[in-house]
């Protein structure tokens, strides 16, 4: 096999294009895998805390919305009773 050009090869008088060399990634070491797992665990825990904070915030918004509705109803009743007295 003659290889005049790095990207071409001649085999039995036929010129062929060489396939590019494909690099395969190295497998992470045990310590690297442990660090990756720890980081994933930390990220999952943070996501759970964030979701809990969001749920608490939504609950507070609903409570405030209900309190505002009750206040509006009370103001409407007061306004109606004042109109009746006048």
Domain extents for the chain? 29-84
Contact criterion met (CB below 8 Å) for 30 and 40: no
Distance from C-alpha of 69 to C-alpha of 5, rounded to nearest angstrom = 81
**pTM for this predicted structure:** 0.52
Going from the C-alpha of 48 to that of each of 10, 36, 52, 69, 84, the distances in angstroms are 61, 18, 6, 32, 54
Closest CA to 16 of 2, 36, 34: 2
pLDDT tens, the chain, 86 aa long: 444 556 677 777 777 777 777 667 788 899 999 999 999 999 999 999 999 999 999 999 999 999 999 999 999 999 888 777 66
Q: Where are the beta strands (DSSP E) in the chain?
A: 8-11, 14-17
């Amino acid at each position: 096999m003659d290889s005049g050009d790095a990207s071409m090869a001649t085999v039995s008088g036929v010129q062929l294009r060489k396939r590019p060399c494909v690099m395969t990634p190295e497998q992470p070491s045990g310590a690297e895998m442990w660090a990756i797992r720890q980081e994933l665990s930390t990220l999952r825990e943070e996501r759970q805390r964030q979701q809990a904070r969001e749920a608490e915030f939504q609950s507070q918004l609903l409570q405030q919305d209900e309190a505002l509705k009750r206040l509006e109803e009370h103001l409407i009743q007061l306004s109606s009773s004042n109109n009746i007295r006048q």
